[in-house]
Amino acid sequence: MAEEWKDAAIKVPAVTLGFWIIKILATTFGETAGDSVSMSWLGETTAEAPTSFWQGGYLIGSAIFGLVLALLVFLQIRSGRFNPWLYWATIVASTTAGTTMADFATRSLGIGYPGGSLLLLALVLLSLFVWHRALGTISVSSVHEPKAELYYWVTITFSQTLGTALGDWIADGPLGYLGSAAIFGSALALIALAYYRTAISHVALFWAAFILPRPLGAVVGDFLDKPLAKGGLELSRVGASLVLALAIGGLILVVHRKGAPSAASGEA
């Protein structure tokens, strides 16, 4: 997706294969880490047995991760240059906040996976609409401005939350975790193919591509930590989160320390 991203803002990472690998790992980490906090307080609440609105777990987890995310977004906007650790920490915070917020919407609010997915899709589209009305573009080429950066992170957070609900919805059906991972992975590959082979808007394709790693990470994260009886590997959530965090850190050190080449981003 080179031409749309070749002039990326210096505070946005270059969109390479390494970017997408880190993004998928970060979304998987968001699932395991978010569940570690919310479910350790709440217990194994499911969509079939939702918690009450004010009960802890999802609500408290959303508040904690939301505050962390708000602080990191503030630091990201105040930063004068691309900092890979700060950028990816903010992405990770958006995935963990997205996990707990999606679970709160689908379970504590009692609207289920379809209702939660539709609500969150509406919020993603609304944030993109407001962004476009305010600045005339939803391309990440505008994220060098503080106002645009705020729209960028709000849209990302809604997209991460949507991805969690969508991933849980599909994985809860007959496809299971691995089948759902194959579906979302294939869809991501088709979007990449469409970028290079069709005239479809590169901006639209970017946001579709940015959303899809989240449900992919959600189903992979659930596959790692859910019980064997439910088709998972029943690994420790904390242990899986630690391994994923180390992998993300290692990739940042090895392949992703530079920002995109200029201040007119494509879709990072």
Q: Could you tell me where the DSSP H helices lie in the chain?
A: 2-5, 17-42, 58-78, 84-103, 112-135, 146-171, 176-197, 202-211, 213-225, 237-255
What local confidence, expressed as pLDDT, does residue 39 receive? 63
- Summarised one tens digit per residue, pLDDT across range 174-208 is 889 999 999 999 999 999 899 889 989 888 888 88
Q: Is residue 23 part of a domain?
A: yes
Q: Is residue 267 part of a domain?
A: no
Report yes or no: 120 and 158 within 8 Å, Cβ to Cβ.
yes
CA angle centred on 251, ends 264 and 268, rounded to 5°: 20
| Distance between CA atoms of residues 183 and 177, nearest Å | 10
Phi, psi (deg, nearest 5) at residue 107: -110, -55
Is 12 strand, coil or helix? coil
What local confidence, expressed as pLDDT, does residue 134 receive? 92
| Distance between CA atoms of residues 14 and 6, nearest Å | 8
DSSP 8-state symbol, 104: I
What local confidence, expressed as pLDDT, does residue 40 receive? 53
Q: Is residue 260 part of a domain?
A: no
| Boundaries of domain holding 211 | 2-255
CA dihedral 202, 204, 209, 214 (to 10 degrees): 160
Residue 253 pLDDT more than 90? no
- Please enumerate in sequence order all residues whose Cβ is within 8 A of that of 70, keeping only pairs 6 or more positions apart, or say none: none
Q: Is residue 101 part of a domain?
A: yes
State the total domains in the chain: 1
Q: Is residue 266 part of a domain?
A: no
Q: Is residue 261 part of a domain?
A: no
Q: Is residue 262 part of a domain?
A: no
The proportion of the chain whose per-residue pLDDT surpasses 70, expressed as a percent, equals: 83
Q: Is residue 224 part of a domain?
A: yes
- Summarised one tens digit per residue, pLDDT across range 26-44 is 989 988 887 777 665 445 4
Residue 105 pLDDT more than 70? yes
Question: Structure pTM?
Answer: 0.82
Instruction: Give the pLDDT band of residue 80 (cuts 50, 70, 90).
Output: confident
Nearest to 153 by CA among 213, 93, 214: 93
